[in-house]
Structure 1
Amino acid sequence: MENLQELLLKNGYRKIAFTVSKTQHLFLKAKINGISGDFILDTGASNSCIDFSHIEHFNIEASDSNTKASGAGANGMLTQVSYQNKLQMGRWKNPKTDLILLDLSHVNIALKQYKAKTVHGIIGADVLLRGEALIDYKNKYLFLK
């Protein structure tokens, strides 16, 4: 019998490695518009987002948004939006990824307090749903189709 990983790869899934930090966050590398960054994989985040301070780093075109964001530790945050960015994680690609831009300093401050690596942004459920995600926690792989 085939193992699950072989079956997923045979059926068009891409395998993306992640690490688990001291804070129990799932960290992975991703490219936005061809530029590498560090991200938290967050199944509880409805949208993928980038910190305001990294807009230029990823060559993102920001547009104003009337939407206020909420999350663990922060509410009513001002946001901007960026449409149709190129997202790549491992060999998985999506050329039309919309991103929410917001202040993630509270996330990075918390990570620094635990001497964990800071991040450029968060990969959320929007990407996980689009990619029909499966997460192998034991072997630390994200599979996206």
Structure 2
Amino acid sequence: MSSLKKYLKRKGFVSIKLSRTQTDHFEVKAILNGVSGSFILDTGASNTCVGLDKAERFGLVSEPTDIKAAGAGSSELEARISPKNLFQLGKWKKKKLPVVLLDLSHVNLALTSRESEAVDGIIGADVLRKGRAVIDYKKKMLFLKK
């Protein structure tokens, strides 16, 4: 029987190596608008997010939104939206990806308090859905359809 990686490659998927943090999240390097950053993978997050404090670094042009973001351990958070961005994970690219900007200090506090590195953002279900994601937890691989 063929391996999952070989099977998905034949079906047009690309593989992206994941690393596990001390908090048991998967972390991955991504490129947003040509700038490399560190992101955690969160299947429970509806949208891909970047910290408000990282907007300039990633060249994010944002506008106010009525969206109120909420996450584990936090109440409603004010959010902004950056509607058209180039997002890349390995060889997988998405043009015109909307990115939500919000205060990720509570996320980074949780990570750094458990000896993990702070992250620039979160990859949410929007990217996973668009890429028809398959996650191999044992081999720590993310597969996205080109």
Q: TM over 0.5: same fold?
A: yes
The amino acid of 1:7's aligned partner reads Y
Q: 1:25 — aligned with what?
A: 25
CA RMSD of aligned residues (A): 0.7
Aligned-partner Cα distance in 2 for 1:120–1:96: 19
Residue 120 of structure 2 corresponds to residue 120 of structure 1? yes
Aligned-partner SS, 2:127: helix
| 1:72-92 C-alpha deviation (Å, 9 max, x unpaired) | 011210000001200000000
Aligned-partner Cα distance in 2 for 1:24–1:6: 26
Unmatched 5+ stretches in structure 2: none
The amino acid of 2:17's aligned partner reads A
Aligned-partner SS, 2:6: helix
The amino acid of 2:97's aligned partner reads T
The amino acid of 1:30's aligned partner reads A
| 1:62-119 C-alpha deviation (Å, 9 max, x unpaired) | 1111111101011210000001200000000001211110000001111111111100
Q: 1:47 — aligned with what?
A: 47
Instruction: Please list every run of at least 4 consecutive aligned residues from structure 1 whose deviation after the TM superposition is greater than 3 angstroms.
Output: none
Question: How many residues get paired?
Answer: 145
Q: 2:110 — aligned with what?
A: 110
1:67-82 equivalences in 2 (<5 Å): 67-82=67-82
The amino acid of 2:125's aligned partner reads A
The amino acid of 2:35's aligned partner reads I
The amino acid of 2:34's aligned partner reads G
Q: 1:13 — aligned with what?
A: 13
The amino acid of 1:65's aligned partner reads T
| 1:42-67 C-alpha deviation (Å, 9 max, x unpaired) | 00101100000000010010111111
Q: 1:101 — aligned with what?
A: 101
The amino acid of 1:96's aligned partner reads K
| % identical aligned pairs | 46
Aligned-partner Cα distance in 1 for 2:23–2:80: 28
Aligned-partner SS, 1:84: strand
| 1:120-144 C-alpha deviation (Å, 9 max, x unpaired) | 0000000000100000011110000
Q: 1:36 — aligned with what?
A: 36
Q: 1:89 — aligned with what?
A: 89
TM-score between the two structures when normalised by the length of structure 1 = 0.98
Aligned-partner Cα distance in 2 for 1:10–1:34: 28
Unmatched 5+ stretches in structure 1: none
